[in-house]
Amino acid sequence: MTPATTAAPGPPASLRRRLLATLYRHPRTQLLILLTPPAGWFGVVYLGSLAILLVAAFWYLDPATSAVVREFSLTNFERLIGEPVYRTVALRTLTVAFLVTLADMVIAFPIAYYMARVAAPRLRSVLFMLVLLPLWSSYLVRVYAWRVILAPNGLIDWTVQQLGLPGFSPGVSDFSMWLVFSYIWLPYMILPIYTGLERIPNSYFEASADLGARGATTFRKVVLPIVLPALVAGSIFTFSLTLGDYITPTLVSNSQFIGNVIYESQGVSNNVPFAAAFATVPVLIMAVYLLIARRLGAFEAL
């Protein structure tokens, strides 16, 4: 690592040195160089797109020509509120997101507890990896796998029949959708709870036991209050991801989600303004959800 002997590409070393020295003395310029590309990308591409989404939500389709009229109008929102089908779809999406979150909390807790408080360090890191892998990969394949498993004569149907019971094949149904959503987002709930549980000092358990509390009481009065922010943090993921999905409902149910209506409005009926208007609904829901989550301390547990 001897700088003097390093052959440098580009301008002669002396010129380069002077340039770099000038830069070194001007931290504002350095910051500008670092910040312009990412801030430009997010400011223009992403926030710009969100702004267009918001503006386009107030445009409308000319009924005669089906061309987009770029003028302010409340047509889309009147339709969203006026036609009961959209309320049903929004309510269904919310209900499923809520039930999925609930199921994930119940399923995630025992394994998170085992990982954080029972498993030896080596086993813990293996388990961590095993929970992490499905979180990052194979979303579509895992939904597709359940479609195959839940079909008539699939794995579940066959297993139930082997037990001597009449078959069970939920196939494409709301039950399947709830099950598959709970399965898909489960790692997002396990990991925050695991982190929350791992942070509890052992002395808290000892103190609780010394004061005469039994397992259940310790759980209710010590563990649960401490882990609550982590539970809420996990629920942000399970809730938001369910809310923003439309592939799972398409593949394993016959029900429509907010996302299905949005996708079909822009793709099938070419009504981008209406799709944009409906897309503001999940944004509003998440804004309210995040405000509540923040009050419950979930942001510190992230």
Map the footprint of another protein across residues 259-278, applying CB under 8 A.
259, 262-263, 266, 272, 275-276
Question: How many residues bind to another protein according to rule CB under 8 A?
Answer: 100
Phi-psi region of 10 (alpha: psi -120 to 50; beta: other; left: phi over 0): left
Among 73, 88, 95, 153, binds another protein (CB under 8 A): 153
Residues 6+ apart with CB under 8 A from 196: 226, 227, 229, 230, 231, 233, 301
CA–CA separation, 281 and 244 (whole Å)? 11
CB of 120 to another protein, least distance (A): 12
Among 80, 90, 177, 186, binds another protein (CB under 8 A): 186
* Binding flag, residue 154, another protein (CB under 8 A): yes
CB of 99 to another protein, least distance (A): 17
Residue written as token pair 């979180």: 135
Among 149, 200, 209, 226, binds another protein (CB under 8 A): 149
Using CB under 8 A as the binding rule, the residues of this chain from 28 to 67 that contact another protein are 30-31, 34-35, 37-39, 41-43, 45-50, 52-53, 56
CA distances from 97 to 53, 85, 94 (A): 24, 18, 5
CB of 264 to another protein, least distance (A): 11
DSSP-based three-state secondary structure for 245: coil
Q: Whose Cβ is closer to another protein: residue 232's or residue 243's?
A: 243
Using CB under 8 A as the binding rule, the residues of this chain from 85 to 124 that contact another protein are 107-108, 110-111, 113-115, 118-119
CA–CA separation, 148 and 151 (whole Å)? 5
CB of 79 to another protein, least distance (A): 17
The token pair at 143 is 């939904």
The token pair at 134 is 């499905």
Cα torsion 186, 194, 226, 205 to 10°: value is: 130
- Give the range of 81-89, 186-194, 201-209, 220-228 binding another protein by CB under 8 A: 186-194
Among 69, 94, 151, 200, binds another protein (CB under 8 A): 151
Q: What angle do CA 12, 18, 21 make, to 5 degrees?
A: 135
Among 74, 81, 102, 155, binds another protein (CB under 8 A): 155
Assess contact for 242 and 101: CB atoms under 8 A.
yes
* Binding flag, residue 133, another protein (CB under 8 A): yes
